[in-house]
Chain A
Amino acid sequence: MGADRQLFTLVSILIGLSIILSYTLTTYTVLLFGVNEFHFVIRQSIFAFLGIGIIYTLSQLNPDKWLKPIGFTLFFGSLILMIAMPFLPETIVSEVGGAKRWIKIAGFSLAPVEFFKVGFVYFLAWSFSRKLGHHDGMGLKNEFKRFLPYAVIFIMAMFIIAFLQKDLGQVVVLGATLLFMLIFAGSSFRFFLTILGGIFSAVVVFILTAEHRILRIKSWWSIAQNSVLELLPDAIADKLRVPVEVEPYQIGNSLNAIHNGGFFGTGLANGTFKLGFLSEVHTDFVLAGLAEEFGFVGLLFVVVVFMWMLQRIFKVANRVEDTSLYLFSIGIGLTLAFSFLVNAYGISGITPIKGISVPFLSYGGSAMLGASFGVGMVLMASKKADMS
């Protein structure tokens, strides 16, 4: 059986779109940075072709032979890199805003966490498929015992990502992926809820201990309240209403861009808010830039393509016999979906913003290549599934 052609086509469409976006959305950025007009589009094109190349190559390989070594290489390779990063010299690891996220290799900056995500998902899928069976009457305590080693690894990884790399968005995505994979690996729903509750309280503590995080929540609520409080009775709504500071600059302009785009957009290259209003329009705010120039219709198209892509990934999960392949496909689908959603909710003001990129669409090499590895490996797995 061959690899799934539909999935490959859909991903290629998204990647192709990202090239267009990396050109049209960077008109202001290139002036600001004083770089060539094609600076971003050339790089994104290289990433795109590399990405598609990776996907194609992986899809041609035999999953029984190749999936495991690749998965583990990604997992341990990126884990070692992430652990080593705080100790590497400044010349190799560049610090941006107190966060050490990138390693410079041969002129390119690489973010190991993007590859770690894929490796982590593979590692979970591999070990869950071996260790976790069904939870048939194990009891919560035993389930916890069984889960403990993963929790340790997870917390370790999260510690690195959250504190050393200050990348909370990735933690959220990985955490959510882990939880859902647990369910699919056969843990009880009760266990799932308990962990969710534990995480929720941890998050609350985490947020309350840092003032700037409270501010972030507050500023988020000041926007979100308008939508939420309308649904509640006035008496309750009034108590919950926070005196409105004006919405934060970035989200405000993101919403401006979406509003300005309307249903059909301003047309390619005609956007205004990409011109310096949205400072990271080609990376974190790519969806806002897309919404401005291609309108609601353009965004709908992207969501449909993305959902279709997820559908194919889940279909592979559904159709493969091998448990680890099944869990791996589910995990990749989940990381992609969560990444998209965390970003989408951020730019539309539903949740506090997290600096996380949109898979395949945002400008950036590491995210593109990392996600390509993920999808390529799913395609490799799809050869063992009957997709007809």
Chain B
Amino acid sequence: MVNRNKSKKILLLYLLISLAFIAFLSVILFTVVKSRHIPSLYTKESSRAQRGTVISADGFHIATTKKLYKAVVDTRYIDPQKRELFIELFSIYSGMTSKAIKKRLSRRKGVVVLSYNIPQIQAQYLKKLSYELRRFKVFLELKNPRTGLRSIHGLSIIESGESRRYPYGNLLTPIIGYPHKVEDNGYTAIKGVKGLEKRFDADLAARQDGFSRGKRDVNGYIILNKESFTKPKINGLDIKLSIPVALQIRIEKLLDTMKIELNAKEIMIAIMDSHTGRVYSMASSNRYLPKSIRKKDYPSLNSGMIEYSFEPGSVLKPITFSLLLEHKLVNPYDLVNGHNGRFKMGRKVITDEHKFDWLSAENVIVYSSNIGIAQLAQKLSGYEFNNGLKKFGFAQKSTPDLIYEKVGFIPSSKRLENEIYKATCAYGYGIRSNLMQLMRAYSVFNNNGKMVTPQIVTGYIDEYHQEKKIEPFEEQQVLRGATAQRVKKILIKTVNKGTGKKAITPGLEIGGKTGTAHIVEKGKYVRKYNTAFIGFANDKTHNYTIGVIVVQPKKSQFAAQTAVPVFKQAVDVMIEEGYLEPNIVE
């Protein structure tokens, strides 16, 4: 009978099977309890935040940051049979020639950097390739002789640094400045050295590097769950400029042409909204490529706008005159003795280009009489003169948006009590200022006696494209409105009747003052000049303060033939670009 002792047999079998299961459970328990070296379950990942972009008023990215990546591979882990496949695929994905890859690979055994300068898009492709290579088992599993653990090292694409790009070459230099590279743990970061790059370094600089930590999968990807930790990447802020590229490019071209025509060392111009202080253009004829600065660029690295401090000469006369008007010490129609172009004050002889017997106080400005203004200025006390110049912003920083400003100086009240100092200061000698300070001072006349502060950066744009606008800086009342209006009229007359005739533009309200000043070299005045024209151009709705300096023109020493034509051409450009609309009555 088959079924004899059936129950016993089955029980025995069941016990046997139970024993086998218990053995299995014991081994599992043993594995659970016994210490075991398991691979790390966690991984972390960091991604560097980027420096912000400098954006023009019309939306062009003048300075941007590109992230660069490097491709690293350990040659020992590449399966020799799949080496060709690796080279071919890497070549396709990276754009490198397979010859170059082979050369790199055979350079040494071990960790090899295949490329340092991989742009972001290619890096994304290569990361995908890295994943595919794992799938195709291109990399071998090797034993680490030190730890005895087996592992696979594939192709890694690592951030190697960032590179600053200036897509428009030398545009807006030297105002925009330049950066240099900083090595930080094998990562090339960027830091501003000069100009806006330096001034706004803290804002542009990357805020917070991204960081994630959490459980991983076999490829080292982080599992994002409640256990994982992520710190978002916060890039630096973008800064928005008040300067539009379209205008800036044309102005710069204009300066380049004029520099050659006038045979000058440098020409600078600034165009600013007289009511808000927003700068529309700030240009120099001497520019450089921020990415490849050569030795001959060194003098251009400093921004002449604020770092070139000079004796302003005649352009200071309207300021002296406005102080006299403000203190009611002169009436524009008072007559002043012109001394026929030669006047001796103490031991100093003052001369005039245009000789006058008698002329009205107003015409002292219109025809730029040194003798006239020297005598008129004597009515100001030293304190009134010094304090007046201070109120006009001399010897102070003109704008917080630019750094390394040379503020120049003005004579002290005590010194200005002296007749001769008072006289020379009145026509712009013995005082130093830069172009931006003059721009600021002249804005008073075109803005009802209130002085604005030049502003180049108008807002910050964050990660989420939210723009935080910066309000125009507060104005300061320097003159009574009536005084400013009076001086403005005189400046218009200067253009229409006097030294600035070449600036006349039909349909626009143009005023300004010319100036020529000797240059001091080694404590002596030499036969080199700076010429300047500071003024304004208005239409019905726009008011601009415009200042031009021509440094050492060899063609002519007269502002009327150097600075004024530059001013005029800039106004023409502004008309063409739609910044000014002449009101021409047919």
A-to-B contact residues, CB < 8 Å:
28, 32, 128-129, 132-134, 180, 183-186, 227, 246, 249, 255-256, 258-263, 270, 272, 275-277, 291, 295-296, 299-300, 303, 306-307, 310-311, 314, 317-318, 323, 326-327, 330, 334, 337, 341, 344-345, 348-350
Contact = CB atoms under 8 A, between A and B. Distances in A.
Contacts of A180: 13
A341 B143 CA distance: 32
Interface in B1-36: 1-4, 6-7, 9-10, 13-14, 17-18, 20-21, 23-25, 27-32, 34, 36
A257 to B, nearest CB: 9
B14 A129 contact: no
Given A28-B217, A303-B24, 8 more contacts: A28-B218, A255-B36, A259-B34, A260-B38, A276-B218, A311-B14, A326-B6, A327-B2
B568 interface: no
Contact of A129 (B2, B143, B216, B223): B2
B150 interface: yes
B362 to A, nearest CB: 84
A330 to B, nearest CB: 7
Contact of A259 (B1, B32, B217, B223): B32
A48 to B, nearest CB: 24
A121 to B, nearest CB: 15
Given A246-B149, A323-B3, A307 B21 contact: yes
A296 B32 contact: yes
Given A134-B4, A185-B2, A341-B24, A314 B219 contact: no
Interface in B125-146: 135, 141, 143
Contacts of A314: 10, 13-14
Nearest to B215: A272
A278 to B, nearest CB: 9
B4 A258 contact: no
Contacts of A227: 27, 30
A3 B439 CA distance: 103
Interface of B: 1-4, 6-7, 9-10, 13-14, 17-18, 20-21, 23-25, 27-32, 34, 36, 38-39, 41, 135, 141, 143, 148-150, 215-219, 223
A302 to B, nearest CB: 10
Contacts of A330: 10, 13
B17 A299 contact: no
Contact of A307 (B18, B23, B218): B18
Contact of A184 (B9, B38, B219): B9
Contact of A299 (B25, B36, B218): B25
A134 B219 CA distance: 61
B28 A258 contact: yes
Pairs A-B, 6 closest by C-beta atoms: A276-B218, A275-B217, A256-B38, A259-B36, A344-B24, A272-B41
Contact of A275 (B20, B32, B149, B223): B223
B24 A350 contact: yes
Contacts of A249: 141, 150
B91 to A, nearest CB: 25
A38 B148 CA distance: 39
A256 B20 CA distance: 22
A132 B4 CA distance: 13
B27 A348 contact: yes
A330 B9 CA distance: 11
Contacts of B135: 32
B31 A255 contact: yes
22 contacts: A134-B2, A180-B13, A184-B2, A246-B149, A246-B150, A249-B141, A255-B31, A256-B39, A258-B32, A259-B31, A272-B41, A276-B219, A291-B28, A296-B32, A306-B21, A307-B17, A323-B3, A326-B2, A334-B13, A337-B17, A341-B24, A348-B24
B485 to A, nearest CB: 75
Contacts of B3: 323, 326
Contacts of A262: 32
Contacts of A341: 17, 20-21, 24
Contacts of A334: 13
Nearest to B141: A249
Nearest to B148: A246
B7 A318 contact: yes
A222 B20 CA distance: 21
Contacts of A184: 2, 9, 13
Nearest to B144: A246
Contacts of B21: 303, 306-307, 341, 344
A185 B2 CA distance: 6
Contacts of A246: 143, 148-150
